[in-house]
Structure 1
Amino acid sequence: MIKCQEIKHTLSENLEDNLFVDDFKFGEDDVIRITRKEFEEMAADLILRAKNLIVESLRKAKLHRDKIHYIFQVGGGCRMPMIKQMLKEMFPTAEHQCSIHPEELVAKGAALYDYQLKKEKKIKLL
């Protein structure tokens, strides 16, 4: 699993990587080449599930995609080109941020959310 995770990370930066069979099966000396395109094809169902989850969340929140101005990407998936591409296609007008310090992005998102709530509350009081 660790080797596969390393390959996933490598494919986020490069177009191909190799899996050495002897890392898993002693005495077998073979190499399996995997491309980013092949990896993305294998993960297509997961990407579709993620996209559907986002669409459903927006529907439940009664939000339209155009009303989303910031996309804060946290976690390992935010470095994957196919995740970045999906989010940019779904939210083309939003500002996309992916940081090596996800805690900072979470704090930034919480601060923006708090600001928005206070702004809406102020408008309702007027």
Structure 2
Amino acid sequence: MIGLLWHAAVLAAAGIAAFLLLRRIPAGAPRTPAAEPEPPSVPAQTFAEIRWWERRLASAWDDPGKYPSLVRDRLADLAAERLRLRHGVGDPARAVEILGDDLHRLLTAPDAAPPTRAELARLITRIEEI
């Protein structure tokens, strides 16, 4: 019987010791609140490209004769690339169907007058939608 009490006392002492040791272990480093996500940064190259287009458009407004080589040809290349990548279009008839007559004429007609700012904005929006 004494042996049984001895084992019970050792187990009780071990339990109390474990409890006291566990209480002394720190819970961990205090948690800092999650930082708010930073807004996505715009690469510097994007601003350079925007300035490049601004200069081209300004030159085209100053000298409408430069519009075909400075702006229209670049927009036509962009539209052709989008047609190829997103629609797999290589056929001119299909391209006219997707672009629409007015947009196709603005991009391809050699004697087309430079569009107004509103027309140019509509043209660019339409190309983005392709």
Superposition TM-score, scaled by structure 2 size: 0.27
Which structure has more RCO (C-alpha within 8 Å, separation ≥ 6)? 2
Superposition TM-score, scaled by structure 1 size: 0.27
Going by fraction, where is strand more abundant, 1 or 2? 1
Asked which structure has the greater CA Rg, the reply is: 2
